[in-house]
Amino acid sequence: MRVFAEALPRAIPITLAVTTDATSNTTRYPFLANVMSPKMLTHACTGTLVDDDLVLAPASCVSSLSNKAEPLPIVRVGTYALDGKGGQADYEERQTVEQRTHERFTGDPTAGYDVSILRLDKPVKGRRPVRGFRSLRDVGKEDEAIMLGWFKASSIGPPALSLQMITNIALVDDDTCRTVFDKLPRGTICAMPELRAHCEWDLGAPLLLCDKKTNTTTLAGFASFASPTCGQKNMPYVYVDLGGELLSWVEQKGLKNSKVEPETPQEHTEL
């Protein structure tokens, strides 16, 4: 398998697609969630709706947002625009009331177990959660691996205002990945776009497997950490592998082997 390729632009802007479900005007990827800082109300990372009131997100993102003097993260679902505009006025915004973080997460994503589940104050209506999990290691000939997110063009730049898609994500074998990173924790997988022009980084950006034959989409993982030289040729990203040992934790909705932070919802200012 070809692991690396020449660098060319691959970020594709996403436009709104209305489903045939008459109950709502939802997006093509209705499970995408904008996880926001409760203080600044700005994009902190991307989450994935795994149940109507549960969002999967990197522990390295939401743990850094947690402060006992402030509410837990705010989650916005149902819009591809970070400002909630762009003709998508039916988005839903929820307060996190409970944060479940894997008990083995140390605060350092490079040590693994970078996974949290956010329980929302009330269910999201008319937004279908992601259906199923499957490792990128199990990719078949009918599958296309893609990544969705509000990507930064540099490691310290601002996120894109509209959701973007990166296509042709290729698996990077573990031995090759270990030549880039000092360590590759258990429960992770390395991958990168076959073609790239610059850094495409959004913490928590979901890695999806799209079966072109059955038209189904499953979650393979989400972005956990990258090299400080993000964007250089041959620099892969490290993802939490949701076909690996963390799958059972996610399927149990973080109810076991977790550190839990309860929080009383507080009012916040709308953007």
Question: 134 and 80, same structural domain?
Answer: no
Within a domain: residue 203?
yes
- What is the tally of structural domains in the chain? 2
Indicate if the pLDDT at residue 147 is higher than 50.
yes
Residues 255 and 122 in one domain: yes
Query: Is residue 24 in some structural domain?
Result: no
Confidence class for position 3, pLDDT limits 50, 70, 90 = very low
Same domain, 109 and 175: no
Query: Does 253 share its domain with 236?
Result: no
Which CATH number belongs to the domain containing residue 238 in this structure? 2.40.10.10
Concatenating the DSSP letter of every residue in the chain gives: ----------EEE------S-TT----SSTTEEEEE-TTT--EEEEEEEEETTEEEE-HHHHHHH--TTS---EEEES-SBTTS-SS-TT-EEEEEEEEEEETT--S-GGGS---EEEEESSPPSS-PPP--B--GGG--TTEEEEEEE--BSSTTSPBPSB-EEE--EEEE-HHHHHTTSS---TTEEEEEESS-SS--B-TT-EEEEEETTTTEEEEEEEEEEE-TTTTSTT--EEEEETTTTTHHHHHTTT-SSEEEEE---------
What residues make up the domain containing 165?
Answer: 130-243
Residue at 117 is within a domain:
yes
Residue 200 pLDDT level (bands cut at 50, 70, 90): confident
Global confidence as pTM: 0.85
> At 265, is the pLDDT very low, low, confident or very high (cuts 50, 70, 90)?
very low
Kindly report the average pLDDT of the chain as a whole number. 83
pLDDT value at 267 more than 70: no
Is 144 found in the same domain as 94?
A: no
In a domain, 14, yes or no: no
